[in-house]
Structure formats: structure tokens, C-alpha cells
Amino acid sequence: ALSLYLRDDAGMPLIVSTERLPADTSALEGLAGASRITAPVERPDYRAVLTRIDQATARLMLAQNDLKPRLDVSFEVS
């Protein structure tokens, strides 16, 4: 994904070799756990907001359906 942003002078993507990686990556170890701890989907208030949005969307779709013409069809066979 880094090659999307890292390009040479001609605009071609560069592939970064492992030699360019920093030797000491201990400062980045806390970042991997941070995304799991504060994931918004796991927060109850975020879930409540998403539920309210889903309910409002369902009400909107029902209201839009109520504006459409109604078609009643009945068949009788004798």
C-alpha cells in the first residue's frame, strides 16, 4: 500500500526494501493494540447511534413507500 504514495521522479511506484525499515520498532508496538481497544464498532454508544440510524432509514423507506401509488389486484375463479 505504501507504493500508492511513494513514487519516483517519473511517477512510477517504488517498492521499499527491508533495508529501509528502521532497526528499532519498539515505539510502534503500542499502535497495533490501540486500534483494537478503541474500535468504534465495539463501543455501546456507537452501536446505539448506528441502531438509531438504521431505524431512521427504515422509517424513511416506509414513508417513501407510502408516497407511491397503491395497486390492489384480486382474482376470482368460478
CA distance 55 to 66: 17
Taking residues 35-47, report their average pLDDT.
69
Q: How far is CA 60 from CA 36, 55, 70, in A?
A: 34, 9, 18
CA distance 14 to 5: 9
pLDDT of residue 21: 74
* Residue at 14: amino acid letter: L
**pTM given for the model:** 0.41
Q: Which of 3-7, 29-33, 52-56 has the lowest mean pLDDT?
A: 29-33
Q: Output the furthest CA–CA distance in the chain (Å, rounded).
A: 87
pLDDT of 74 over the 80 cut? yes
Grid coordinates given for 19: 533495508
